[in-house]
C-alpha cells in the first residue's frame, strides 16, 4: 500500500476557492474570534503530519493484530496507546470543542477535514476519538453545567474517552423497545441496568476512564421512543475534586469478531446497577442523542470518503508502476516490455471514477459541514433556519451516499490491483472490509433513505428540498456563458430531480409503500445531482487557470463526471417511477 499523504491541496481548494470558508467565518462573530485562513492552514498542516506519520503506519498492523479481550479487559493493538496519547496531546480530540471547557473551538468545516485525514490513516483508530467527540456533543448541548464542568475538559483533552450505548440484542433501529432500565436514587443519581451491544470503544486501554452515554427507560416511562432517557455512566467514578474513585458496576462481556475495523473494540456492555446521571430531560433521551447524530452521520459519511481516498492513493501509484500489455494505440513505454496499466481505458475509467467521487465527496462533506456551522453560529435568524433545514435534508444523503460511493471506490481500487488486490499484502482488501461497516452503523443506508424521503421530503411537503433547488438555480443563473457545458446538464439534472420529488410526494399520498420503494434510488439520484452542482462550482473555480496542472486535472475530472457518472440518474429515476407494485408480487413463502 502507498504511504498515505493528506490531500491538503484539494482541501485548501475546496475551503478557500470553492466555498470561501474564511469569508464565511468572518461573517459569524463567534467563529471570527477563533479561526481565520492562516489558523486553518496551520491546523490542517499539523493534522496531515500526525495522521500520515503516526497513525497511518499502524493501519495494517492494527488490522492484523486486532483487539484482545480477557476477563472484561480490552487491549488495543501494539502502538495504539502511544499513538492515541500523541493524538490527544495535540488537542485533536477536542478540535471542535468549546474553548470554555478546553476545546479548540474550530468550525465543523475544519474538523471535517481532520476527520477525513484521521480516517484515511486508519478508520479503526479514528473511531475512538470520533465516539468521544460525539458523546461530548450531547453532554455539551444537554447536560447540566455541573456535569459539563466535571467531564468535558478531560474528554476534550483525550484523557477520558466516550461511548454511545444505544443498541440492544433485540433493539437496533427500533430503539423504542429497549429494555435497559434506570432507577432513580435519593441523591439524584440513577442505577442503570441492562445490556448494550455493538458499542464502539465500550472498553479499551487508551484512556484512564470511559464516559458512557446510555439510553434507558425510567420505571414510569411511556411506551415507545417517547419513553427513552439519556444517562451519563462513567466506567470509573469521578470524585468531587475530579480524581478517579471506585470502578462503576459495569463490564465488557465480550468483543465482536468482525469483517473489518479489527483494531476498533466493538463491545457487549453489561450495566449492573451502574451509577449514572441524567443528561437532559426525562423521556427526551432521543432528542439529546440526535443532537450529535447530524454531526456523527456526516462523520460516518466522511469515513466512506476517507477509505476511498486511501484506496485511490494506492491505486494510482500502482497503475503508474505496474506494467501489463500495450496501450490500444501502440507502445507508450518503448524501453519496457509492456506499458503501465494506466494507459488502458478500463483502468482509466476506474481511476477517474474514484477521483471524481472522492473529490466530489470532499466538496459535499465540506458543504454540509458549513451548513452545520451556520446553523450553530450564525446570528442571522433566517440564515440559521435555512441552514438547519438544509442540514436536516442533507444529513441522510451525506451518510448514505458518501459511504455507498466509498465502497464503490474501494472496490475499484482493489480491482485495479487485480489478483494483488485480493491478498492482504497490498492493503486494498482491508479498505474494502473496513469501508463496508460505514453503510451499516449509525443507521443503515436504507434507514437513511427512508429518513430522507419519508421525513425530510414528504414530512416537510418538499419545503426542505426547495432550499437546495433554489440555491442551485441561483448558481446556474449567475454562471457565465463559459460555464454552459456544466450548467446545461446540471439544470437538466435538477429539473429531473424536481419532477421526481413531485412524483414521490404525490405517490406517497395514496400508498405508504411508495416511500420505502422509492427511497434508495431517490437518495442516489439526489446524491449524483448534488455532486453535479458541486462539480460545476469546482469547474468554475478552475476555468482560466489551465496552465496549472491542479486546475487542469480538476476541470478534466469535472468533464468526466458529467459525461460518465451523472447519467446514472436516468436508470435510478426509472426505478423510482416503477413504483412499489413489483416488490409485493411474491408472498413471503415464495421467496
The domain locations on the chain are 450-583
Separation CA 175–CA 198 (nearest Å): 14
Cell of residue 41, nine digits:
492552514
Rg (CA), the chain: 24
Residue range 97-132, pLDDT digits in tens: 999 999 999 999 999 999 999 999 999 999 999 999
What is the rounded CA–CA span in Å between residue 234 and residue 197? 17
Whether the predicted pLDDT of 273 surpasses 80: yes
Contacting residues for 76 by C-beta, under 8 A, at least 6 apart: 62, 67, 204, 205, 206, 263, 265
Mean pLDDT of 25-38: 96
Residue where the block lists cell 467514578: 237
Using DSSP's 3-state secondary structure scheme, residue 335 falls into coil
Distance in angstroms between the alpha carbons of the first and the last residue of the chain: 42
Phi and psi of 535, rounded to 5°? -65, -35
DSSP 509: T
Please tell me the total number of residues recorded for the chain in this structure: 591
pLDDT of residue 172: 83
Phi-psi region of 201 (alpha: psi -120 to 50; beta: other; left: phi over 0): left
Q: Are 458 and 503 spatial neighbours (Cβ–Cβ below 8 Å)?
A: no
Cell readout for 310 is 486511501
User: What pTM, to 2 d.p., does this model score?
Assistant: 0.97
Residue keyed to cell 483508530: 125
Query: What would the pLDDT profile of 42-92 be if each residue is shown by its tens digit?
Result: 999 999 999 999 999 999 999 999 999 999 999 999 999 999 999 999 999
Residue closest to 398 by CA, chosen among 408, 388, 390, 386: 390
Residues labelled as active-site residues: 442
Amino acid at each position: 500500500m502507498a504511504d498515505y499523504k493528506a490531500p491538503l491541496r484539494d482541501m485548501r481548494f475546496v475551503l478557500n476557492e470553492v466555498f470561501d470558508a474564511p469569508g464565511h467565518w468572518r461573517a459569524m462573530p463567534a467563529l471570527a474570534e477563533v479561526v481565520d485562513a492562516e489558523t486553518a492552514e496551520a491546523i490542517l498542516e499539523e493534522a496531515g503530519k500526525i495522521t500520515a506519520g503516526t497513525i497511518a503506519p499502524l493501519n495494517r498492523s492494527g488490522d492484523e493484530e486486532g483487539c484482545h479481550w480477557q476477563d472484561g479487559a480490552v487491549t488495543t493493538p501494539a502502538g495504539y496507546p502511544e499513538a492515541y496519547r500523541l493524538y490527544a496531546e495535540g488537542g485533536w480530540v477536542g478540535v471542535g470543542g468549546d474553548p470554555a471547557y478546553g476545546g479548540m473551538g474550530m468550525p465543523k468545516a475544519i474538523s471535517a477535514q481532520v476527520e477525513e485525514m484521521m480516517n484515511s490513516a486508519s478508520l479503526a483508530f479514528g473511531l475512538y476519538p470520533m465516539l468521544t467527540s460525539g458523546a461530548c456533543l450531547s453532554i455539551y448541548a444537554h447536560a447540566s453545567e455541573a456535569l459539563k464542568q466535571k467531564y468535558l475538559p478531560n474528554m476534550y483533552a483525550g484523557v477520558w474517552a466516550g461511548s454511545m450505548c444505544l443498541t440492544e440484542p433485540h433493539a437496533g433501529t427500533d430503539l423504542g423497545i429497549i429494555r435497559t432500565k434506570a432507577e432513580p436514587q435519593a441523591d439524584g443519581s440513577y442505577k442503570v441496568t441492562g445490556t448494550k451491544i455493538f458499542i464502539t470503544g465500550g472498553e479499551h486501554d487508551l484512556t484512564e476512564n470511559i464516559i458512557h452515554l446510555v439510553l434507558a427507560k425510567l420505571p414510569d416511562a411511556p411506551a415507545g421512543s417517547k419513553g427513552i432517557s439519556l444517562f451519563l455512566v462513567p466506567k470509573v467514578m469521578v470524585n468531587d475534586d475530579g480524581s478517579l474513585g471506585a470502578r462503576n458496576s459495569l463490564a465488557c462481556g465480550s468483543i465482536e469478531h468482525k469483517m473489518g475495523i479489527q483494531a476498533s473494540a466493538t463491545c457487549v456492555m453489561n450495566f449492573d446497577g451502574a451509577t449514572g446521571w441524567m443528561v437532559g430531560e426525562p423521556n427526551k433521551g432521543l432528542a439529546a442523542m440526535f443532537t450529535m447524530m447530524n454531526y456523527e452521520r456526516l462523520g460516518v459519511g466522511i469515513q466512506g470518503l476517507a477509505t476511498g481516498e486511501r484506496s485511490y492513493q494506492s491505486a494510482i501509484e500502482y497503475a503508474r508502476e505496474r506494467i501489463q500489455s500495450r496501450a490500444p494505440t501502440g507502445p507508450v513505454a518503448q524501453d519496457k516490455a509492456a506499458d503501465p496499466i494506466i494507459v488502458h481505458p478500463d483502468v482509466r475509467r476506474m481511476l477517474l471514477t474514484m477521483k471524481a467521487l472522492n473529490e466530489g465527496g470532499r466538496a459535499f462533506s465540506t458543504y454540509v459541514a458549513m451548513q452545520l456551522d451556520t446553523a450553530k453560529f450564525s446570528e442571522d435568524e433566517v440564515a440559521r433556519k435555512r441552514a438547519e433545514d438544509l442540514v436536516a435534508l442533507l444529513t441522510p444523503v451525506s451518510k448514505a451516499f458518501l459511504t455507498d460511493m466509498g465502497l464503490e471506490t474501494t472496490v475499484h481500487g482493489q480491482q485495479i490491483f487485480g489478483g494483488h488486490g485480493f491478498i492482504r499484502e497490498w492493503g486494498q482488501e482491508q479498505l474494502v472490509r473496513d469501508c463496508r461497516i460505514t453503510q451499516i452503523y449509525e443507521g443503515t443506508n436504507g434507514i437513511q433513505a427512508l429518513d430522507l424521503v419519508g421525513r425530510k421530503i414528504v414530512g416537510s411537503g418538499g419545503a426542505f428540498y426547495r432550499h437546495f433547488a433554489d440555491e442551485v438555480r441561483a448558481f446556474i443563473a449567475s454562471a457565465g456563458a463559459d460555464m454552459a457545458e456544466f450548467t446545461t446538464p446540471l439544470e437538466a439534472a435538477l429539473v429531473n430531480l424536481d419532477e421526481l420529488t413531485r412524483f414521490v410526494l404525490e405517490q406517497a399520498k395514496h400508498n405508504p409503500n411508495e416511500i420505502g420503494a422509492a427511497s434508495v434510488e431517490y437518495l442516489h439520484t439526489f446524491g449524483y445531482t448534488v455532486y453535479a452542482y458541486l462539480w460545476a462550482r469546482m469547474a468554475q473555480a478552475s476555468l482560466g487557470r489551465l496552465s496549472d496542472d491542479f486546475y487542469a486535472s480538476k476541470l478534466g475530472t469535472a468533464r468526466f463526471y458529467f459525461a460518465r457518472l451523472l447519467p446514472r440518474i436516468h436508470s435510478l429515476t426509472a426505478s423510482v417511477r416503477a413504483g412499489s407494485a413489483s416488490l409485493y408480487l411474491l408472498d413471503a413463502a415464495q421467496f
